[in-house]
Chains A and B, each alone.
Chain A
Amino acid sequence: MRNSFIDCLVQFNDQGGNAFLLVGDLGYSVVEEFCEKHPDKFINVGVAEQNMAGIAAGIASEGFHVFCYSIGNFNTFRCAEQIRNDIDYHGFAVCTVSVGGGVAYGNMGYSHHAIQDMALMRTMPNTTIYAPVDGNETVACFNSIVSSRNPSYLRLHKSGERLITNLNAIIEPGVPQYVAGNPASKRILVTSGFCGQGAFDYVQINSDFCHYTMPAWGLKHKDNMTAFLDQYDEIVVIEDHLLDGGFCSWILESQIGNVNILKIRSKAVLTKAIGLVGSEQYLHAASKLFDL
């Protein structure tokens, strides 16, 4: 996923794009190609995320599309006010790119677990959340991001993702993407981000479910959800994030006043998993993420 993102960024600039990459002293074995090919559009700002977000706003104000790359919480929570005031409020074309979404950095501990990041970023009125499930969806997300000049948040996993979606898909914010399972089923799994891989596996052996991803969504993109969810009798939302403020909360908010709200079940990271040490799989299991 990280490599798909960097490949997109390199190709975009190879073809005359105006992407500028800032990194917070992270990206070993990921960002080197971009740095070598486009050194005039790359800066390692050091371990200084507040400065990185402010600089990003300044560069974006000169017409560039800026990408701020770091690990989950560092380029979100550490500089939340800069994202809110400097980037989102001004509507600058800055994409905050976090790696290790969810508990991908399992044994690194709570500091590295991005399980509240969507709660923060989705309250930014002008920001669209992008959370791809695999490399192909990462490409689709990138294409969507650079097709506009809006602020965005790209939540990437770390590594080891299988390709489960089609290449060359075109995504729109707020529009779910069919991935697998019985398309005529009245039971649906909805995911956003890497944990969709587990949902994909689940529907391979439980054919009475279908699986959709939601790779792009946000505060301004709830309008399609009612018509979409009306089609289903049972809706299970799976996320590698806390329930509070996360993807399922966004769906629930979209259904306020609608009977669909009674059909929705949440599978999310549980608070009892906070502070546990172990692999991503271990931490997902601790939250019974795929015990449906």
Chain B
Amino acid sequence: MQHLRFLLYCTLNLVSHQASHKILASKVNCCAGVYSALNCQGYLDDKQIQTYASDGSPLMAHISHKVNHVEFSTGSLGHGLPFAVGKAILRKRRAIDGKVYRLLSDGELDEGSNWESFMFAGYHKLDNLTAIVDYNKLQSLSSTYNTLDLEPLEDKLTAFNWHVIRCNGHSIADLRATFAADSNSKPKLILCDTTKGHPITFMANKVDWHYKPPSKSQLEQIFAELHSFYK
């Protein structure tokens, strides 16, 4: 749910008002959020969205450039940031208005290609690039702490010459402020502290829900908790 809120925020508030911005999602499993945001904006109609992941649908269960207004397919991790860096340096050199935004997962940061890109973007002072890390501290099999432990993540990224801002990833107000903040002529990295599964009580902070679909009764509980949370 947090992914959906965040991507809705980005898509509705940035793309719709400033077409020169580029928003790209490397956090591949958030495609349902991306497609939903496109649906809310009218880029995907209600009939198309219902075909999600079904036979012959363009809406594959990872982000697909076969879908209108999606520029870059992802699925394998560590590909998104280098692509965004390429767009950012070209647009900076050509003095093209607008920023490039790239959503990353925390588990994805295990991939060395991201660190090649962090080094490159910091060196080239790509201040038109913003990377957002969904730092929910869970990856595919376990926590980030029990896998490679990304910490001290802020210090590492700061050492790579990025302007790092940490915020509550569940707070639209926090996100709004960090998006608006100056990056001191550096690429900006927004480190969003989040909880996977938030705000559903039985899903929060559990690896299982990376894989499992909810049962019908669980789905009813999810809707009830969502209505309660966002009322």
- The segment out of A85-93, A123-131, A137-145, A156-164 that lies at the interface is A85-93
Do residues B79 and A46 form an inter-chain contact, with CB atoms below 8 A? no
The answer to whether B83 and A54 touch across the interface, beta carbons within 8 angstroms, is yes
Instruction: Tell me, in angstroms, the Cα distance from A50 to B81 when the chains sit together.
Output: 11
* A residues with CB within 8 A of B: 20, 40, 43, 45-46, 48, 50-51, 53-62, 64, 81-82, 85-86, 89-90
Give CA–CA (A56, B89) in the complex, Å. 11
Partner of A86, one of B79, B89, B94, B119: B79
Contact: A57 with B83, CB < 8 Å? yes
Among A43, A51, A58, A61, which residue has its beta carbon within 8 angstroms of that of B113?
A: A51
Give the interface residue-count category, chain B: 20 to 34
Bound-complex Cα distance A57 to B73 (A): 12
Known: A48-B120, A61-B86, A82-B113. A54 touches B91 (CB 8 A): no
Query: Is B84 an interface residue, CB under 8 A from the partner?
Result: yes
Residues of B within 8 Å of A86, CB to CB, are 72, 79, 82-83
Which residues of chain B are near A64, meaning CB under 8 Å?
90
B130-152 interface with A by 8 A CB criterion: none
Contact A62 B79 (CB under 8 A): no
Of the A-B pairs whose beta carbons lie under 8 Å apart in the complex, a sample of 30, sorted by A's number, is A45-B120, A50-B78, A50-B113, A51-B82, A51-B85, A53-B82, A54-B79, A54-B82, A54-B113, A54-B117, A55-B85, A55-B86, A58-B89, A59-B89, A59-B90, A61-B72, A61-B83, A62-B90, A81-B79, A82-B79, A82-B82, A85-B75, A85-B79, A86-B72, A86-B79, A86-B82, A86-B83, A89-B73, A90-B65, A90-B72
A51 touches B117 (CB 8 A): yes
Which residues of B sit under 8 angstroms from A43, Cβ to Cβ? Answer: 89
Given contacts A51-B113, A55-B120, 10 further A-B pairs with CB under 8 A are A54-B79, A54-B83, A54-B85, A55-B85, A57-B72, A58-B85, A61-B86, A61-B87, A62-B96, A82-B113
Q: Give chain B's interface residues, CB within 8 Å of chain A.
A: 65, 71-73, 75-76, 78-79, 81-91, 93-94, 96, 112-113, 116-117, 119-120
Secondary structure type dominating chain A contacts? helix
B113 partner residues in chain A, CB cutoff 8 A: 50-51, 54, 82
Q: With the chains together, A45 CA to B65 CA distance in Å?
A: 26
- A54 vs B88: C-alpha distance when bound (angstroms): 12
Task: Choose one: A20, A46, A50, A61; the contact of B71 (CB below 8 Å).
Answer: A61
Residues of A within 8 A of B117 (CB): 51, 54-55
Inter-chain contacts of B82 with A (CB < 8 A):
50-51, 53-55, 57-58, 82, 86
Q: How far is the CB of B124 from chain A (nearest CB, A)?
A: 8
- Inter-chain residue pair count (beta carbon < 8 A): 84
Query: Which of B71, B85, B86 is the most central at the interface, judged by chain A CB atoms within 10 Å of its CB?
Result: B86
Q: Which secondary structure characterizes the binding site on chain B?
A: helix
Contact residues in B for A54 (Cβ distance below 8 Å): 79, 81-83, 85-86, 113, 117
Please indicate the chain B residues that have their CB under 8 angstroms from the CB of A40 in the complex.
Answer: 93
Rounded to whole Å, the gap between the CB of A206 and the closest CB of chain B is 49
A61–B73 CA distance with the chains assembled, in angstroms: 12
Q: Which residues of B contact A45 (CB under 8 A)?
A: 120
Chain A residue at minimal CB-CB distance from B117: A51
Q: How far is the CA of A62 from the CA of B83 in the complex (A)?
A: 11
Residues of chain A lying within 8 A (CB to CB) of residue B94? 62
The 6 closest A-B pairs by CB, nearest first: A58-B86, A54-B82, A51-B116, A55-B86, A48-B116, A50-B113
B71 contacts which chain A residues (CB < 8 A)? 61
Rounded to whole angstroms, the CA-CA distance of A48 and B86 in the bound complex is: 13
Could you tell me if B87 and A59 are in contact, using CB atoms closer than 8 angstroms? yes
Q: Shortest Cβ distance from A75 into chain B, in angstroms?
A: 13
Q: How far is the CA of A62 from the CA of B93 in the complex (A)?
A: 12
Report A142 CB to chain B, min CB distance, Å: 22
A189 to chain B, nearest CB (A): 41
Contact B86 A56 (CB under 8 A): yes
Instruction: Please determine whether A62 and B81 come into contact, CB atoms closer than 8 angstroms.
Output: no
Residues in chain B near residue A20, CB distance under 8 A = 90
B86 touches A46 (CB 8 A): no
Q: How far in angstroms is the closest Cβ of chain B from A21?
A: 13
Task: Decide: B120 and A51 in contact? CB cutoff 8 A.
Answer: yes
Task: Tell me, rounded to whole Å, the shortest Cβ–Cβ distance linking A164 to chain B.
Answer: 38
A53 partner residues in chain B, CB cutoff 8 A: 82
Residues of B close to A57: CB separation below 8 A:
72, 82-83, 86
Closest Cβ of chain B to A22, distance in Å, is: 9
